[in-house]
Amino acid sequence: MKYFLLFFLITSLTIPVEAAILSKNNMPSGEFNLTLNYTSETMANVTGGLKRGTTIGGMGNIVLDYATQESNEGHSRFSLRASGMLLQGESPSGKYIGDYLTASNIDGYDSIRLYELWLQHFFWNGWGSLKFGSLLADAEFAFTDLGGLFINSAFGWPTFISANTVNTGPAFFVTAPGIRFRLESTKSWYLQGGIYDGDSFDNSAGDGATN
């Protein structure tokens, strides 16, 4: 029986920047948040799998968030996000291991790409929200707060969803045009649904260079 053993080394650097915009002309005030993050990852397959070898991969993110504050004048709140991503390095799964779920959770097509770009509108005193733009379904429908503590992608987009959609659907590392509606009665209970582009790659063969 074949098996494989991996060695991991991960480093990460995050730089947050915040700025506030004061209210003018009875308009609600807002706040900008700029986050720069780069994660570097080294993996070595020392036995089993396809063959022995070592890979070095990296993922860089730049995220700009803007959100208005609650207002006594009755203005509705909204938030927006624009982000970009850099992916680089070899895939340990494709080159050395041969597994299907990928050993690395930052494994993707080498590229510099626009990532999330959306606008979210809140209504009914924050009980409801509508988000539209270039979205990630996995970030809202299959996300665990503690999943980032684990190295591989087993706690990400579930296989029963990705295997039954074209090119895995709107999940890391490719977003898709979509709209999401959410009703939230408490922080623990909510109801939401979304409609997304059926092929986030815009290529039935899954060529990451297309999108």
Pairing of strands 111-123, 5-21: unpaired
Q: How far are the Cα atoms of 29, 75, 96, 106 from residue 135, in angstroms, in the given order?
A: 26, 25, 32, 18
C-alpha angle 111-118-170 in degrees, rounded to nearest 5: 55
Instruction: Give me the chain's average pLDDT, please.
Output: 80
61 versus 6: the higher-pLDDT residue is 61
Read off the amino acid at residue 119. L
Put simply, whether the predicted model's pTM sits higher than 0.75 gets the answer yes
Residue with tokens 């780069």: 38
76-115 pLDDT tens trace: 689 999 999 999 998 888 888 888 778 888 888 899 999 9
137-192 pLDDT tens trace: 988 888 777 766 776 666 777 777 777 788 778 888 899 999 999 998 877 888 99
H/E element, 140: helix 138-141
Cis peptide before 173 (omega within 30 of 0): yes
Q: Quote the pLDDT of residue 187.
A: 75
Q: How far apart are CA 8 and CA 128, in angstroms?
A: 42
183-196 pLDDT tens trace: 988 778 889 999 99
Q: Which two tokens stand for residue 6?
A: 């991996």
Q: Are 177 and 134 in contact (CB under 8 A)?
A: yes
Helix (H, G, I), strand (E, B) or coil at 127: coil
